[in-house]
Structure 1
Amino acid sequence: MDYLSNAGSSIQTEERYRLLVDAVVDYAIYMLNPDGIVVSWNSGAERLKGFTASEIIGKHFSTFYLPEDVRNGMPDHALTMARQEGRFESQGWRVCKDGRRFWAQVVVRPIRAPGGELIGYAKVTRDLSERKAAQDALMKSEEQFSLLVQAVTDYAIFMLDADGIVTNWNAGAQRIKGYEPREIIGTHFSRFYRPEDRERGIPAQALATAAAEGRFEGEGWRVRKDGSAFWANVVIDPIYGPHGQVIGFAKVTRDITEKRNTQLALEQAREALFQSQKLDAIGQLTGGVAHDFNNLLMVVLTSLELLRRRVAGDDKLLRLVENAVSAAKRGASLTQRMLAFARRQDLQPAAVDIPALVDGMKDMLERTLGATIHIEEAFEPGLRPVLVDAHQLELALLNLAVNARDAMPEGGRLRFAASEVACTLADHLAPGAFLRLSMTDSGAGMDAATLARALEPFFTTKGVGKGTGLGLAMVHGLAVQSGGKFVLESTAGVGTTATLWLPVASANSQALPAAAPMASVPTDTAPLAPMLVLAVDDDPLVLAGTASMLEDLGHSVLAASSAEEALAMARAAPHIDLVISDQVMPGMSGAHLVEALRKNNPSLPMILASGFAEQPGDLHPSTVKLSKPFDMAQLAHAISQGLRRTRAAQGQEGT
């Protein structure tokens, strides 16, 4: 009874297992006899492979394999491995009843009787076609991505492990950094950094930032295999593992040296343009102030000149007048520097031999600078002359030398050097040959903030009363007005180099007669016969002063406050002997007045005065140019010069 009961229970259990297996539809579960013949078939097998139980039971399981796999003995191999190893598992293509292929995962296990003899095999098959397709697609994508990354040559794209070791290397990395994959994979990425950056821990900081913030981006110098440096844009992104931990980094590096250089050049050009515009604006303002200041000084000097003649017998008053005259002349010298900066001075350009000019100044420079400063010269042989006002260039070099002396209180070295260079528009100069004249000192130098303002007029780092702040501004004005440029370079604690770029003189350049300085104007001009002089100036104080000086010289004066009034007076008094006119006046300028008067009276001597110092260049050769402020001696000298030039011009025209 117990036997029957146990047998019944066993049958019920097997039936439950059969029902359970048959209910599985996602797996093909069936059995084979020892020879591989199908002896059972569940609903999952029917769904996956398309065969009904009646169609497949009794047939060999190799029915499900591709013909080539059958020829290669794969079915028998599966059973052999299962029998010997206790399990066989593989993946591969299998065939459905309708001939469709699917990617199968197969597990085969041997079934043995209690005594150990083989009685068959249990076989489980799962359709992984979709997973296979997804894996294939992923693999293809990864392959394509790898090919894409390898094809990129403008970017260095590579990966690091969590410690910063390089794990792969694309063609762009090899091109930019110079290393082949075998040379760099397995080494730390910090080798691309400069030694000082490694000492500061910058590589580790980059990885730490990427890990903490999810991204690192920066720019800086990196080093190639050959030791050369390039400016790099770097992006580092962390790579996370399945549990969110950082398992490595993706690093992209781009060489942007050229872009950076272009950007720096653009910024320098913008800064140069801004500086030029600023200096031009200051120059216009300074020129206007200097003109007005010259008119004021003209009134002061004229009045003092007339006063001096009237107090000649009173030594105390005369001393006071002389002090006032000296101060006014210092003011006139200051306006000349202002006009030089504003590029509105009257230059006398000539072909000047620079080495000869510097040699000629050497004794004076040694006396001015003192024995503690050693002067050196380094001039290239065969330098051609430059076209510049020699007197103004000497003043400019003297100014620079004095600045250098003040920067070397304990003594030092002052080096003059010159070389010829070819310039283009890129140098902010007209194309052609230029001489680069530099003066380098070993003094204290300037910081960046001081250097940026060094050319501004009235800016000085010297103490009160020790400098006007116009020396460098004057040099700048002379260089630009001469068709060149002035460049100042300085480093704090190292020294300063001041460089003048001056145009090389053409073969037919000739020296022009230099304008005599104020102190050298002869004061013993022989008295002239009384004349009727037409004086023209829109400033009533200047006009009154000029008229008073002319009268003190023994002449009669017709005073006109405008060019139009002067023309009317000239028509009413045709016997005028000489005209002295201001250049800058509302309406008609002095130059136009001179030409209008000369049409009716070509032999009329003309003197053209200006507080700007610069004069029109196309005047008649007999016209005398006179800079304001002028004193009585200069006025008398200009009158004599005007009469002499007029007679010379008439003689030439007569011949």
Structure 2
Amino acid sequence: MAYGLDIGGPVSGYRMIEGLPLETDIATGEAQGGDSRRFQLLVDAIDDYAIYMLDATGVVSSWNPGARRFKGYEASEILGQHFSRFYTQEDREAGVPQRALAIATSEGRFEAEGWRVRKDGTRFWASVVIDPVRDEAGTLIGFAKVTRDITERREAQQALRESEARFRLLVQSVTDYAIYMLDPTGHVTNWNAGAERIKGYRSEEIVGEHFSRFYTEEDLAAGLPARALAIAEAEGRYEKEGWRVRKDGTRFWAHVIIDAIRDDTGKLVGFAKITRDNTERRELEERLRHAQKMEAIGQLTGGMAHDFNNLLQAISGCLQMIGRGGDKRRNARLVEAGMQAVDRGTKLIQQLMTFSRQRQMDVEPVDLRNALLSCIGLIKQVVRSDIEVTLALPSGVWPVQTDPVQLEVALLNLAANARDAMPAGGRLVLGAENVSGWDGRTDAVRVYLSDTGGGMPPEVVARAFDPFFTTKATGKGTGLGLSQVYGFAHQSGGAAWIDSAVGTGTTVSLILPRAADAPKGSQVSPQASAPRGTARILVAEDDPILAPIIGSALEDLGYNVTHVPSGQEALDLILAGRDFDLLFSDIVMPGAMNGLDLAREVKRLRPSLPVILSTGYSEEPAAQHGYQVLAKPYRIEELALAIGNALEAA
């Protein structure tokens, strides 16, 4: 430790204190010559250091104000006394003063820290430097001694060490968290007890190793460890959850925090890493989600059962009445009512499958004016006679890009909710208006349904789009209606929201993007007369109720039908050389070969044989492979039309 004091050379040579030359008489400690006054002023001005001289035996020969300030002795009290009186009793008994002078004499300098004693007997922690002073012949003639009181600094350092010790004890005592440090390259530099408990490595096994060994193989392949450090360095902090690997190879679900550590200059010196094993919490959350899912499924099942029982009752009643006979006009009305019940069931299934993402939306340009004019009639059938239904449809409404079936389902859902919100009757308005740049760049049309019902409080509005959420009594709804509306709008590339307050009614708005292309022309009505034919058709259908109905319907149209209950049996007939003009197969069938596998094999063996598939699930996978697909339930007319078109194109 340097204090700017350099004592050395001949007794009358140059001395230097903070760059000031002087000549000093070692025997008296008094400055000689023209610089004596300046030297005396300098030494007297220093009160942070005790600067004084000793003779060759250790007797004090000079004394400055700094020595007087923190040692307490006046010059008259201490000059001629041995410097050992500043040492503690234990240091004097151990010969520390003599050893200090001996070291200074032999090594040219003595420097140490230790306790010293003031005049009043109190102790202070001193930093001491002793330099030997020799004459021109090299003979030792005394010592220059500089002492500084560094008690406060020592106390601060001691407090810091104690704080660090307490912190280390705290960190090492934590067993619920892995707390450790990384160097700037990601290598582990220390390890606490929690890290050993959670990850299984002892300190000597892991210190010096790269922290990436805790990551899974897939995360390593994706470069996640390096990305985590890069984010922590750039943003100051990285936080994430994911799978980590213990020493024994087992995985645990970890919550990880990495903080960048920088020095006073801002230089990165490493990372602090805290990891917690959240496997139990994650498993608990999974069990809770499963319980909630089962509760939701129970609610869904109740609502679906209610709706389907109504549909089945309608179909059953129609069939029973037809079975009793009657005139053709009455039976035709009953058949039409039964088909309407089937159509309602079809839309309910489509709603459920769209919600479960088992059915993709069939998005196309839709003439919104025609769609709403068509839907208004259905809405009037859904609501009661005490509800007035009006259509607010200005001219020039743009076509929209959406799924027309799902649009109809969404509006019917909204109409049913509005009906239930107006038990005493009211007014329902279906409308639309063009919206230029609704999101700042996209033109769209707002389709809305407004009712004059009781309205909803804010907490209900906030949850109204949640799946399975309903305010209706058990069995009065599935809780899927508004969630289907919300999902439909967003899958169309738009949005949905609700404006409502208690006592002011409710308006549900759907934003649908404007179509860039013109809507398609009208399609052939599925209720048109079914085309007849004489072709040989192989039907692969495993359902024992549906299969004979399909066979009988096609035979009534003149076709020669062969039925098998599995894909493998259908393939066996083709391999055996049986000649068919068309294959009609269900996609989902028992056994190793489903309908899609069967279609692939038939195309390989007989490329010219037309294939039509049907499914009660999503038709997207099969359609993506180029096959014509009929979604169940379908009308016999639709099946006959598809067969006629396929045979004509073959």
Q: TM-score, normalised by structure 1?
A: 0.50
| Aligned partner of residue 34 in structure 2, secondary structure | helix
Match of 1:181 among 185, 203, 223: 203
- Cα distance, 1:249 vs structure 2: 0.6
Deviations 1:26-66 (A, max 9, x none): 11111100000011111111111111111111111111111
Deviations 1:585-616 (A, max 9, x none): xxxxxxxxxxxxxxxxxxxxxxxxxxxxxxxx
Instruction: Report matched runs for 1:455-474 at 5 Å.
Output: 463-464=629-630, 466-467=632-633
Kindly indicate whether the alpha-carbon contact (under 8 Å) linking 2:318 and 2:337 is maintained by their aligned counterparts in 1: no
- Cα distance, 1:406 vs structure 2: 3.5
Instruction: Report matched runs for 1:547-566 at 5 Å.
Output: none
Kindly indicate whether the alpha-carbon contact (under 8 Å) linking 1:286 and 1:338 is maintained by their aligned counterparts in 2: no
Match of 2:97 among 75, 78, 83: 75
- Cα distance, 1:114 vs structure 2: 2.8
- Cα distance, 1:17 vs structure 2: 1.2
Give, in whole Å, the separation in 1 of the partners of 2:60 and 2:33. Answer: 22
Instruction: Report matched runs for 1:338-357 at 5 Å.
Output: none
| Alpha-carbon distance change, 335 to 31 in structure 1, aligned in 2, over 3 angstroms | closer
Give, in whole Å, the separation in 2 of the partners of 1:95 and 1:212. Answer: 53
| Alpha-carbon distance change, 153 to 468 in structure 1, aligned in 2, over 3 angstroms | farther
Residue in 2 aligned with 1:409?
598
Aligned-residue sequence identity (percent) comes to 45
Match of 1:27 among 13, 26, 49: 49
| Alpha-carbon distance change, 44 to 334 in structure 1, aligned in 2, over 3 angstroms | closer
Give, in whole Å, the separation in 2 of the partners of 1:324 and 1:408. Answer: 41
Q: Which moved more, 1:328-337 or 1:9-18?
A: 328-337
- Cα distance, 1:218 vs structure 2: 0.7
Match of 1:129 among 144, 151, 155: 151
Structure 2, unaligned runs of 5 or more:
1-22, 25-29, 353-473, 476-541, 549-562, 572-586, 602-614, 622-626, 636-650
| Alpha-carbon distance change, 273 to 407 in structure 1, aligned in 2, over 3 angstroms | farther
| Aligned partner of residue 218 in structure 2, secondary structure | helix
| Aligned partner of residue 60 in structure 2, secondary structure | coil
| Aligned partner of residue 91 in structure 1, secondary structure | strand
- Cα distance, 1:173 vs structure 2: 0.3
Residue in 2 aligned with 1:109?
131
- Cα distance, 1:399 vs structure 2: 9.1
| Alpha-carbon distance change, 328 to 279 in structure 1, aligned in 2, over 3 angstroms | same
Residue in 2 aligned with 1:11?
33
Instruction: Report matched runs for 1:440-459 at 5 Å.
Output: none
- Higher share of residues assigned helix: 1
Instruction: Report matched runs for 1:120-519 at 5 Å.
Output: 120-302=142-324, 305-307=325-327, 367-372=564-569, 401=590, 405-406=594-595, 408-409=597-598, 463-464=629-630, 466-467=632-633
| Alpha-carbon distance change, 335 to 96 in structure 1, aligned in 2, over 3 angstroms | closer
Kindly indicate whether the alpha-carbon contact (under 8 Å) linking 2:588 and 2:595 is maintained by their aligned counterparts in 1: no
Deviations 1:291-316 (A, max 9, x none): 244334444443xx1349xxxxxxxx
Deviations 1:430-482 (A, max 9, x none): xxxxxxxxxxxxxx9989x99xxxxxxxxxx994365469xxxxxxxxxxxxx
Give, in whole Å, the separation in 2 of the partners of 1:462 and 1:286. Answer: 29
- Cα distance, 1:11 vs structure 2: 2.6
Residue in 2 aligned with 1:315?
none
* Structure with higher RCO (Cα < 8 A, 6+ apart): 1
Give, in whole Å, the separation in 2 of the partners of 1:19 and 1:465. Answer: 108
Give, in whole Å, the separation in 2 of the partners of 1:249 and 1:337. Answer: 59
Q: Which moved more, 1:14-23 or 1:73-82?
A: 14-23
Give, in whole Å, the separation in 1 of the partners of 2:236 and 2:588. Answer: 59
Give, in whole Å, the separation in 2 of the partners of 1:464 and 1:70. Answer: 107
Kindly indicate whether the alpha-carbon contact (under 8 Å) linking 2:130 and 2:145 is maintained by their aligned counterparts in 1: yes
| Alpha-carbon distance change, 335 to 293 in structure 1, aligned in 2, over 3 angstroms | farther
| Alpha-carbon distance change, 463 to 128 in structure 1, aligned in 2, over 3 angstroms | same
Instruction: Report matched runs for 1:38-77 at 5 Å.
Output: 38-77=60-99
Give, in whole Å, the separation in 2 of the partners of 1:142 and 1:49. Answer: 32
> Match for 1:306: what amino acid?
G
- Cα distance, 1:233 vs structure 2: 0.6
- Cα distance, 1:71 vs structure 2: 1.7
- The alignment of Structure 1 onto Structure 2 pairs a total of residues equal to 373
- Cα distance, 1:82 vs structure 2: 1.4
- Cα distance, 1:328 vs structure 2: 9.3
| Alpha-carbon distance change, 138 to 370 in structure 1, aligned in 2, over 3 angstroms | closer
Give, in whole Å, the separation in 1 of the partners of 2:569 and 2:93. Answer: 105
Structure 1, unaligned runs of 5 or more:
1-5, 309-319, 344-357, 375-397, 413-443, 451-460, 470-655
Give, in whole Å, the separation in 1 of the partners of 2:335 and 2:236. Answer: 75
| Aligned partner of residue 273 in structure 1, secondary structure | helix
Q: TM-score, normalised by structure 2?
A: 0.50
| Aligned partner of residue 251 in structure 1, secondary structure | strand
Give, in whole Å, the separation in 1 of the partners of 2:330 and 2:32. Answer: 144
Deviations 1:100-134 (A, max 9, x none): 11110001111122332211111111011111111
- Cα distance, 1:91 vs structure 2: 0.7
> Match for 2:598: what amino acid?
P
Kindly indicate whether the alpha-carbon contact (under 8 Å) linking 2:51 and 2:146 is maintained by their aligned counterparts in 1: yes
Instruction: Report matched runs for 1:617-628 at 5 Å.
Output: none
| Alpha-carbon distance change, 147 to 74 in structure 1, aligned in 2, over 3 angstroms | same
- Cα distance, 1:78 vs structure 2: 1.2
Give, in whole Å, the separation in 1 of the partners of 2:184 and 2:313. Answer: 74
